[in-house]
Structure 1
Amino acid sequence: MDSTDEIWHRDATPARPSRPLARRGRALGVALALGALLASGATMTLAAPAVAAAGDVNCPSTDCVRIAPAAGSPVAIAPDNAGAVYLAYSGGDLLKLDLASGVLTTVTTGLGNLRGVAVAGGSAYITNFDGMLQQVDLATGSRRTLAAGLPSLFGVARVGSTTYVTDGKGEIVAVPDGGTPRVVATGLGFSYGIAFDKAGAAYTADMMTGRILQTNVTTGATRVLASQAYEPTSISVGGDGLVYFLVAGEVKRVNAVTGVQSHVTNINGINSFSFSLAESGDAYTTGNGGGEGLWRIAGLTSR
């Protein structure tokens, strides 16, 4: 087991530092405790931030609405931009939330110790901690294995006919349809997610060093877009082309061309570990500690 695997398996009881370090301490608790949470399926409860500032997103509010009940905490969320959001659970379940009706249904179960989900072309692409990448037909629930025997897998994204995943060794692995998995980039640290822009560049968030990275998956060349004082736990590319990430409940964004980084908002009232952006600019996230369930943050990219 490598050092990253150890971090994501061990239990930790984080200290509760006073502000202004409280928000950072909360992220550390999430980062260290998530491994045990995902492995066990237990619910993690941490304290919500105590003080809201102007411009913050407060949950619940008109800007942040719980749209699905507290059916446990999904480890990954993927909107399909066609009226549904898919939720992956560490216990191996894949659920579908119909946004119009609010009905939550099970697509399939028994997918293993899940970590990531991406939706494209009527299929969900699922990663699990045991090094397996699976494709699930969203209409029938049938599945097939695209790759197995890889290091522990986390983030997943679908580009054309290739599925890209991040693993516990700091790599991006490309899995082409009908082809052999191959490592296309190394030295990326630990990123729980991966996102692509319209030009085909990949973005990862290294929780170990705080780096936001842009990678050319053709050449493997990587550059640092931003460096954080604490671990980023989420990565998304908005319809505006900007790269969004989460640091201890604070949403930030960076322009991949200019390198200019800016504060977007703080998410208060729920302990959010990650979020997924829809094409509309809305974000979907989950909460713990009294904020369980799936939440929609309206117009995150327009803030």
Structure 2
Amino acid sequence: MPSSHSMFSPTVRRNRNRNRNRAPRGAGLALAAAVLAGVTAFGTAPASAASPASPSSVACPSSSCQAVAEGLAGAFSVALDGHGSAFLSVSDSGDGRVKRVDLATGAVTTVATGLGNVRGIASDGAGSVYVVDFAGRLQQVDVATGAHRVVVSGFDPLLAVAHHDGHVYVGGIGQVWDISPGAPARLLAGGLGTVLDLATDASGRLYMSDLNGTVSRIDPATGTTTLFDEGGYEPTSLQVAADGRIVFVSAAVTVKTIDPATGGRGGPITTSLRSFSDFALDSGGDALVIDSVTGTLWRMTGLAG
């Protein structure tokens, strides 16, 4: 059972929603996981018109892909604060750090160290970033001072984190949790595969990519899960564009989009990066992309149409 620190209660409340209006699943593995969880309802988005046109490939470097910063070996995840900075979780030999990149100048500074085997990172845009680690902890880092504290611990290994309106969502091996101030940790979905990434849209709806090849949306209020894509190869990273489209990476080099409202699909867009490990979308629709092999942060245009 997760243990809470500071303002979070150690009590765990499981979502018992048993709405099981499921659609057929190709290989049946993800459906079996949902049945075991007993907490999700699956539905496929309707097929409809294609998404706006995007390039079929992006070369880096080029006019559509320019390096912002280098020397970021071990970078795992990236988050934007909306004020001109990108924050990266960096894990090298277990020495977890948070680094800041000034997007205007490319200057790199270390914000915090000693964070363990860190994975996903999320920014609240108000002076804090949140990182999760393979030890099953959620930590909060003050980006001005570098001070950090464990918010909650005791989970199975965590890989993904997202923030929206005071809520911090974490996911990893088989589960997604809602960690909210002044409330117990709440299980949103269980019986999953391995949650690789989490993102929220402007309305606070939560989106998830899973190692089992699925891209889904979770209603934070009910835990109901809607399936949008399955059968893909390792959708490692996803974001939600300003127009509501899901933008996700498959096989570490290919970008695809899905319109949740219409089912319209875009892509695939291939890139020349050696490993497209994570990305974040800025307010203008540009993607800040980590190439974990070269340790480079790139600014890429055209991925979200």
Q: Shorter-chain TM-score: what band?
A: 0.7 to 0.9
Evaluate the alpha carbon distance shift between residue 288 and residue 147 of structure 1 in structure 2; reply closer, same or farther with a 3 A threshold: closer
**Residue 72 in structure 1 maps to residue 76 in structure 2:** no
Hey, what's the Cα distance between the residues in 1 that align with 2:277 and 2:144? 29
Evaluate the alpha carbon distance shift between residue 153 and residue 138 of structure 1 in structure 2; reply closer, same or farther with a 3 A threshold: same
How many angstroms does 1:295 deviate by? 1.1
Q: Is the 8 A contact 1:167 1:173 kept in 2?
A: no
Q: Is the 8 A contact 1:75 1:89 kept in 2?
A: yes
| Residue number in structure 1 paired with 2:37 | none
How many angstroms does 1:227 deviate by? 1.7
| Residue number in structure 1 paired with 2:61 | 60
How many angstroms does 1:264 deviate by? 5.0
Hey, what's the Cα distance between the residues in 2 that align with 1:94 and 1:288? 15
Q: Is the 8 A contact 1:73 1:286 kept in 2?
A: no
| Residue number in structure 2 paired with 1:197 | 201
Hey, what's the Cα distance between the residues in 1 that align with 2:295 and 2:144? 27
How many angstroms does 1:288 deviate by? 4.7
Q: Is the 8 A contact 1:213 1:224 kept in 2?
A: yes
| Residue number in structure 1 paired with 2:260 | 256
Q: Is the 8 A contact 1:115 1:127 kept in 2?
A: yes
Q: Structure 1 regions of 5+ residues with no counterpart? A: 1-53
Evaluate the alpha carbon distance shift between residue 71 and residue 159 of structure 1 in structure 2; reply closer, same or farther with a 3 A threshold: closer
| Residue number in structure 2 paired with 1:43 | none
Hey, what's the Cα distance between the residues in 2 that align with 1:231 and 1:106? 30
Q: Is the 8 A contact 1:233 1:245 kept in 2?
A: yes
Hey, what's the Cα distance between the residues in 2 that align with 1:187 and 1:283? 31
TM-score with structure 2 setting the length: 0.77
- The size of the alignment, in residue pairs, is 246
Equivalent of 1:300 in 291, 300, 303 = 303
* SS state at 2:304 partner: helix
How many angstroms does 1:152 deviate by? 0.9
Moved more, 66-75 or 92-101: 66-75
Deviation by residue 1:39-79 (Cα, 9 ceiling, x = unmatched):
xxxxxxxxxxxxxxx73110111111111112313011111
Hey, what's the Cα distance between the residues in 2 that align with 1:246 and 1:228? 13
How many angstroms does 1:273 deviate by? 2.4
Evaluate the alpha carbon distance shift between residue 68 and residue 257 of structure 1 in structure 2; reply closer, same or farther with a 3 A threshold: same
Deviation by residue 1:216-243 (Cα, 9 ceiling, x = unmatched):
1111111211123422111110111100
| Residue number in structure 2 paired with 1:158 | 163
Hey, what's the Cα distance between the residues in 2 that align with 1:188 and 1:213? 11
**Residue 182 in structure 1 maps to residue 183 in structure 2:** no
| Residue number in structure 1 paired with 2:144 | 139
What fraction of aligned residue pairs are identical, expressed as a percent?
35
Q: Is the 8 A contact 1:60 1:269 kept in 2?
A: no
Evaluate the alpha carbon distance shift between residue 63 and residue 73 of structure 1 in structure 2; reply closer, same or farther with a 3 A threshold: farther
Match of 1:57, as an amino acid? V
Equivalent of 2:133 in 116, 128, 132 = 128
Q: Is the 8 A contact 1:88 1:117 kept in 2?
A: yes
Match of 1:278, as an amino acid? D
The structure in which a higher percent of residues are helix is: 1
Hey, what's the Cα distance between the residues in 1 that align with 2:96 and 2:210? 25
Hey, what's the Cα distance between the residues in 2 that align with 1:271 and 1:167? 21
How many angstroms does 1:179 deviate by? 3.1
Moved more, 126-135 or 196-205: 196-205
Q: Is the 8 A contact 1:77 1:87 kept in 2?
A: yes
Matches within 5 A, 1:81-96: 81-90=82-91, 91-96=95-100
Evaluate the alpha carbon distance shift between residue 100 and residue 111 of structure 1 in structure 2; reply closer, same or farther with a 3 A threshold: same
How many angstroms does 1:178 deviate by? 3.5
Q: Structure 2 regions of 5+ residues with no counterpart? A: 1-54
Q: Is the 8 A contact 1:252 1:261 kept in 2?
A: yes
* SS state at 1:203 partner: strand
**Residue 225 in structure 1 maps to residue 228 in structure 2:** yes
Match of 1:194, as an amino acid? L
Hey, what's the Cα distance between the residues in 1 that align with 2:72 and 2:227? 37
Match of 2:193, as an amino acid? G
Match of 2:300, as an amino acid? I
Match of 2:155, as an amino acid? L
| Residue number in structure 1 paired with 2:154 | 149
Evaluate the alpha carbon distance shift between residue 165 and residue 80 of structure 1 in structure 2; reply closer, same or farther with a 3 A threshold: same
RMSD: 1.6
Hey, what's the Cα distance between the residues in 2 that align with 1:233 and 1:218? 25
Q: Is the 8 A contact 1:226 1:259 kept in 2?
A: no
TM-score with structure 1 setting the length: 0.77
List structure 1 runs of 4+ shifted beyond 6 angstroms.
none
Question: Taking CA–CA contacts closer than 8 Å with sequence separation of 6 or more, which of the two structures ends up with the larger relative contact order?
Answer: 2
Deviation by residue 1:191-218 (Cα, 9 ceiling, x = unmatched):
211011122221111112x111111111
